[in-house]
Structure 1
Amino acid sequence: MNSFVEYKTLKSFPYKFLTKADQHVVSRFFDSNPFHAYGWRIYIYETAVSETILIPWDQIDRFFKEIAAETGIHLFQNFPAKKISYKLDSNEDAPALMGDFKSKEELDELLQQFGTSSGKGPIKKNSTPKSRRNAARRLQAMETWKSQVSSARNHLKYDQQDLENGVKIAFPVFVSIDVEAFEHNHNIITEIGISTLDTAELPPTQENAMTRETVLKAIQDSFGLSNAPLRRSDAVIDLIKSYHFRVSENRNMRNGQFVTDAADYFMFGDSEFVSLTELPKRIGECFRHFDSHGEKRGIVLVGHDVKTDVDFLMAVGYNVGNISGLEVIDTTCMWKAVMGDFQSKGLGSMLHDLSIDFRHLHNAGNDAAYTLQALVKMAEIGLPIEGGNGDNVKPAPNLYRPIWQKAENIQIGFADEDDNRPANILPPKKPIAKYVAEAGSSSEGSGSEHERRWLGLTARQFPETLFCCDFHLFFFSLSKFSHYHLS
């Protein structure tokens, strides 16, 4: 394990740990020119969202001891590394060496070469190296997503390469999970949904398997049809078994303000109330499968943004990391690989685009089942053919609107072609003259007010009568004025 300190943390060290007087004493070490002239070896640590410039702790420790020897400030003598450094696994998380520098100019050259800066964001000029690295990371991520699609196709017997090569085929069990938490406190788990698919029970493969282009065309043709032709994927989906566990202690913790409350609408069987103490046992039973020889079957964990659900399972006492040989497939990653898109897709819109009929999302049992159905459908589609012509057919554009949207939240109006108003926008109210409003507010004028409104509507619908209506309204108002002021 190697310890590193962030470059900007070291630069600001005197201002965080020293008094004003000591800051003045050590300024000859930390000012820009002497600091960079000391000679440093820097590394870069990259993640998906940030880049960090690091300096090894052994260099900094030597630097601190030299300062202590010359200034007598004991803080630098044995300063604990854990206060400003962190450790990285040298095998998996090792930062990349950028180089050595002995001046600010040499540091800037290194940073510009790697397309980054010393903690002030990316350099705008000459950022080609960083763009190339980002592109390389995206391509590497896409290859990982494609491998998940290939694995799903192999397990579901859409690819027959292993059969042709005489390789012994394993029959794992797909286990899809989804967890719902209380919207006001995500530490309170309310529902857990689990769906399983045993690949040993799969229907036989078709001799003339459908191509990617044919499957996508069939998905397009099936939109809006209740009796669309069945495919092998539909027979596979019929084998899915689903379970819905509701936490007994949290049964009164209901969503509905920010997340739809669908806890009572499990579509694939009966819900089961389970106590928190029994919940890990019931979850474990869904993950344990044995073959005819009593040996454990392989498990393929499935989820839509599965990491979040895995963390929730750990919160209730079940750690999927203890399963040996566990394989993980995320349907968000599968969608990106199947459609050649780097944008994530929500579960509801993904189901719509795959022409999967769904009801009552945000029920953990339903979401787990629909996630596994989406995996089956995407495995049937397969990966784009590089250089082929089968990539130009994609599912219809997303027209998905949440089915739980309340009617009172939808503004109702009408389209007026004469005024060229868009639909669903109510027309503005016509202003009412003050003296007419006063007259209409009296009990005697209630009938006249009704007549005035009728006249206003008539004038709007029949513009040719506008002059007559206004003329009639003028004399009506004049008579009211005479009645109140001359009597």
Structure 2
Amino acid sequence: IDKNNKRLRGTGSLLTARRFAFERVRTLWAAKIGTWLALDFEAWDMDHTALTEFGWSAVRWVDGEPVKEDGHLVVKEHRMYTQHYVPNNREYYNFGESEIVTKPVFKQRIQDLINTHKEAGPLFLVFHDHSQDVKYLKSDMVKAIERVDYLLPDSPQTGEIYVVDTADLFAALEGDASNNRRSLERVCRHLQITTKFLHNAGNDARYTMDAMVEMATGDPVDQQREQRWPKRTEENQPKVQFQDWEEESDFSDMEGVMGPPTAAPPMPTADDDDL
């Protein structure tokens, strides 16, 4: 504990807040209360007011056992829109059948999803980088929420909506005090969660839930960091030092075939030549 406190000195309040949220998520998840609902929107990248997809992945408890639900909606009127800057993976939902719905049905389905789970107990909305998705939920295009709480309380209340952000949870886990946010793909890679067809709203919602559960079911943040990445922090620096091959997807793809890179063998010396 003393060693971790020493490392945290001078890292600022942002990392402290992230660490607090990490431990609170672990506690609330272990208590098996409420509904945890991971959400993701996709919009046309030429006009972000044109929503094209919505995905969700939910976990709630019945008699102490998890009940899971996944889904993916595609807006019929925007189905022909083609992305220019991100992959076009709308048709590649990995966890069931996509539903093609009109804009009014799209809006109503999202409202019903939120209201149903909110009425059953506290609702934890899980995002990866929440800002844009929360804006969509509040917008006239969806109008599913009016307010949310960003601080997780000791005793969450029925009817209240709380935000959980896996980008912040992972920042706490790796010890990052900066404002930089890792992509969902990179977070999943570091947590060893296999992904396929990201930028499909349904897939992204499911992988966001998987990432949250992976962290929430582990040990406290400092122990979990050391278990996942042993001896990767320095004495006065809590941030994990990742290698290039861990950060780059091309390196990671090769690792699956050849294993992680190893150091080059030492060059022969004059003494070696004499042998």
Name 1:197's counterpart in structure 2.
Answer: 59
Name 2:146's counterpart in structure 1.
Answer: 321
| Structure 2 length-normalised TM | 0.70
Q: CA deviation at 1:300?
A: 0.3
Give the one of 158, 164, 184 matched to 1:347: 184
Contact 2:111 2:142 in 1 (8 A): no
Contact 1:156 1:199 in 2 (8 A): no
Q: CA deviation at 1:317?
A: 2.4
Name 1:383's counterpart in structure 2.
Answer: 221
Contact 1:188 1:250 in 2 (8 A): yes
- Which ranges of structure 2 fall in alignment gaps of 5 or more residues? 1-8, 149-158, 233-241, 253-275
Name 2:19's counterpart in structure 1.
Answer: 146
Deviation per CA, 1:144-165, whole angstroms, max 9, x where unpaired?
21222122212321xxxxxxxx
For 1:85-164, list aligned pairs within 5 A: 139-157=12-30
Given the superposition, is the C-alpha separation of residues 325 and 264 from structure 1 closer, same or farther in structure 2, using an over 3 Å criterion?
Answer: same
Give the distance between the partners of 1:366 and 1:144, measured in 2 at CA: 28
Given the superposition, is the C-alpha separation of residues 201 and 144 from structure 1 closer, same or farther in structure 2, using an over 3 Å criterion?
Answer: farther
Give the distance between the partners of 2:197 and 2:80, measured in 1 at CA: 19
3-state DSSP of counterpart to 2:12: helix
User: Is 1:172 the counterpart of 2:21 in the alignment?
Assistant: no
Q: CA deviation at 1:341?
A: 1.6
For 1:203-282, list aligned pairs within 5 A: 240-255=68-83, 257-282=84-109
Give the distance between the partners of 2:28 and 2:226, measured in 1 at CA: 26
Contact 1:180 1:189 in 2 (8 A): yes
Letter in 2 for 1:174: W
3-state DSSP of counterpart to 1:242: strand
Deviation per CA, 1:235-259, whole angstroms, max 9, x where unpaired?
x7xx54211111111111121x211
Give the distance between the partners of 1:290 and 1:303, measured in 2 at CA: 16
User: Is 1:308 the counterpart of 2:132 in the alignment?
Assistant: yes
3-state DSSP of counterpart to 1:320: coil
Given the superposition, is the C-alpha separation of residues 362 and 401 from structure 1 closer, same or farther in structure 2, using an over 3 Å criterion?
Answer: farther
Q: CA deviation at 1:143?
A: 2.2
Name 2:194's counterpart in structure 1.
Answer: 357
Q: CA deviation at 1:392?
A: 5.5
User: Is 1:333 the counterpart of 2:168 in the alignment?
Assistant: yes
Give the distance between the partners of 2:228 and 2:100, measured in 1 at CA: 46
3-state DSSP of counterpart to 1:194: strand
Q: CA deviation at 1:391?
A: 8.1
Give the distance between the partners of 1:359 and 1:202, measured in 2 at CA: 31
Give the distance between the partners of 2:48 and 2:188, measured in 1 at CA: 26
Given the superposition, is the C-alpha separation of residues 389 and 273 from structure 1 closer, same or farther in structure 2, using an over 3 Å criterion?
Answer: closer
Letter in 2 for 1:139: G
Q: CA deviation at 1:312?
A: 2.0
3-state DSSP of counterpart to 1:321: coil
Give the distance between the partners of 2:78 and 2:251, measured in 1 at CA: 26
Given the superposition, is the C-alpha separation of residues 246 and 148 from structure 1 closer, same or farther in structure 2, using an over 3 Å criterion?
Answer: same
Give the distance between the partners of 1:290 and 1:283, measured in 2 at CA: 11
Instruction: Tell which has more relative contact order, 1 or 2 (C-alpha 8 A, sep 6+).
Output: 2
Name 1:371's counterpart in structure 2.
Answer: 208
Give the distance between the partners of 1:151 and 1:313, measured in 2 at CA: 24
Letter in 2 for 1:177: L
Name 1:188's counterpart in structure 2.
Answer: 50
Letter in 2 for 1:383: V
Aligned-residue CA RMSD (Å): 3.0
Contact 1:289 1:297 in 2 (8 A): no
Given the superposition, is the C-alpha separation of residues 242 and 389 from structure 1 closer, same or farther in structure 2, using an over 3 Å criterion?
Answer: closer
Contact 2:57 2:206 in 1 (8 A): yes
Contact 1:190 1:251 in 2 (8 A): yes
Letter in 1 for 2:80: N
Contact 1:244 1:364 in 2 (8 A): yes
Q: CA deviation at 1:333?
A: 0.4
Given the superposition, is the C-alpha separation of residues 308 and 278 from structure 1 closer, same or farther in structure 2, using an over 3 Å criterion?
Answer: same
Name 1:58's counterpart in structure 2.
Answer: none
Deviation per CA, 1:356-407, whole angstroms, max 9, x where unpaired?
1110000000001100100011123331159x9768626872242499xxxx
For 1:39-58, list aligned pairs within 5 A: none
Give the distance between the partners of 2:228 and 2:104, measured in 1 at CA: 50
Deviation per CA, 1:98-156, whole angstroms, max 9, x where unpaired?
xxxxxxxxxxxxxxxxxxxxxxxxxxxxxxxxxxxxx97x5222222122212221232
Identity %: 24
3-state DSSP of counterpart to 1:308: helix
Contact 2:39 2:127 in 1 (8 A): yes
For 1:423-462, list aligned pairs within 5 A: none
Give the distance between the partners of 1:318 and 1:289, measured in 2 at CA: 15
Give the distance between the partners of 1:401 and 1:193, measured in 2 at CA: 28
